[in-house]
Chains A and B, each alone.
Chain A
Amino acid sequence: MRAKWLVPTLYIVFLMLPIYWLLNMSFKTTNEILGGFSLWPQDFTLENYQKIFTDPTWYTGYINSLIYVSINTVISVGAALPAAYAFSRYRFIGDKHLFFWLLTNRMAPAAVFALPFFQLYSAVGLFDTHIAVALAHTLFNIPLAVWILEGFMSGVPRQLDETAYVDGYSWGRFFVKIFLPTIAAGIGVACFFCFMFSWVELLLGKTLTAVEAKPIAATMTRTASTSGYELGLLAAAGTLTIVPGAFVIYFVRNYIAKGFALGRV
């Protein structure tokens, strides 16, 4: 029992090792990386980061990603809010089937949709735009947001709704003024997860873009395959993609299990 702390500690060390290695690589020069093996940068450099922040092919990747991820989060959570309210408060014809159908889209393999998405968005003239990727990602983010928000909303007693109606609130005013602030934490978590899942996805983002809206993930894979081994640069770009997640994780630490379990813990 005394050595109990050892288990999580060892696990965390195991988790941190590859991340450390990525950081380590990002501060090395290409010569040093190819020249040999060293546990920490001998010739510490910020060159790789400098290149990313000054070369438009790199930093526009981040901007493109951030744009479509933000659009996606707004659309997903905005559409999911009334739907989640309906699922948590009312029974209506087909509600269970609809809820299940949403879930199947969260679970659907992106690989199945890659080709038809490419054709659909080309046909409507949205290929290589931010909105195309944002819309495509709603396929799995809307179901996720509906499920998470439904979980949070079901935790709010119905008496709140009824009291507000008795007090003369219309539905719209009650929803905006009373209900939304009550589930603010849930909305935050839903936003976080939509942001995250759109941010980490590569296949659809890569398939639906060419130049104008190319996400950072696609820039990275193309660098890795075309210009041989620019490992330092790749490592620096990778490190920078971890930053947004690492930055907001503190705020959702207590809800993260609930989010990953689709609002069901």
Chain B
Amino acid sequence: MKKTVNQKAWFFVLPVLILVAFNAIIPLMTVVNYSVQETFGDNTFFWAGVLWFEEVLHSDRFHAALGRQLFFTFTILAIEIPLGVAIALAMPRRGPWVSVCLILMALPLLIPWNVVGAMWNIFALPDIGLLGRTINALGIDYNFTRQPYSAWATLIAMDVWHWTSLVVLLAYAGLVSIPDAYYQAAKIDGARPFAIFRYIQLPKLKRVLTIAVLLRFMDSFNIYTEPFVLTGGGPGNSTTLLSIDLVKVALGQFDLGPAAAMSLIYFLIILLFCWIFYTLMMRNEDQ
């Protein structure tokens, strides 16, 4: 489908442009401004050059937060993607149960993020939470407010609970778009289930899985509310992810310079992945 060239289309885009520019460009310029200046809190600013960037890039605190962030993101991707595909494969293709499955599975996606955190907090409390009580009854010492490994396990379980459905829904949408004729052909050829998965389903899933992986990557990189409500970054700093650390520096300590430099580094990482996402998605569409 060829699009016509029409420069007047800019007028259609103008309202969006103004609104988003107000929200994105002005704040971003503020951040850039702070990132190169030093202040002593009396509203006078001095040029500081790249001082804050050097400080942030060399600080152990930033490295540790980034490390935790990457560990978190890759762990949840390694669990959610295969699990989501497996569940989508096992879901019924037609019949009344499809709607029931879709609705129940989508439910966690629509719960406010702070409620997800609060819900898991209550669910995992070692004395009165169902999960915490059960694990302790099994003879495993578990207390997510005191032990870092318990906090991490709870955090990952919560994210799997919250977002695996996204992968399921996307994979399922990809699977139902495969025409029946493909399966009939495979049956005539005597293909085994694994061969059907490898040569019919997986290629069709490639597109949706690209979207799923990248969306989960970006969103887990930005995650703030759920871990903040669940553990508050603790015990100690053991679950302080990048966003939580940034908010601590920016709104908690009001260290404008370092916070701004950190924001920009954070934003550049996101921008890089966003560009990869966009390129992959557009290439998929052209095919």
Q: A98-B17, A116-B30, A202-B225 are in contact. Are A90 and B9 (CB under 8 A)?
A: yes
Q: Are A92 and B115 in contact (CB under 8 A)?
A: no
Which residue from B16, B104, B114 sits with its C-beta under 8 Å from A142? B16
What is the predominant secondary structure among interface residues of chain A facing chain B?
Answer: helix
Task: Check B4–A98 contact: CB distance below 8 A.
Answer: no
A189 in contact (CB, < 8 A): no
Residue B287 at the chain A interface, CB threshold 8 Å: no
Expressed in whole angstroms, the minimum distance between the Cβ of A231 and any Cβ of chain B is 6
| In contact, B129 and A21 (Cβ under 8 angstroms) | yes
User: For residue B54, which residues in chain A have a CB less than 8 angstroms away from its CB?
Assistant: none
Q: A112-B267, A249-B110 are in contact. Are A135 and B174 (CB under 8 A)?
A: no
Name the interface residues of B243-287: CB closer than 8 Å to any CB of A: 243-244, 246-247, 250-251, 256, 259, 263, 266-267, 270-271, 273-275, 277-278, 281, 285
Is B70 part of the binding interface, using a Cβ–Cβ cutoff of 8 Å?
A: no
Which residues of A lie under 8 Å from residue B128 when comparing CB positions? 33-34, 36-37, 231
Residues of B within 8 A of A (CB): 1, 3-10, 12-13, 15-17, 19-20, 22-24, 26-28, 30-31, 86-87, 90-92, 99, 101-115, 118-120, 122-123, 127-131, 133, 161, 164-166, 168-170, 172-174, 208, 211-212, 215, 218, 221-222, 224-225, 229, 242-244, 246-247, 250-251, 256, 259, 263, 266-267, 270-271, 273-275, 277-278, 281, 285
Name A residues whose Cβ lies closer than 8 Å to a Cβ of B: 4-8, 11-12, 14-19, 21-22, 25, 33-34, 36-37, 39, 75, 78-80, 82-83, 85-87, 89-93, 95, 98, 100, 102-105, 107-120, 135-136, 138-139, 142-143, 146, 154, 157-158, 196, 199-203, 207, 216-217, 220-221, 224, 231, 234-235, 238, 241-242, 245-246, 249-250, 253-254, 256-258, 260-262, 264-265
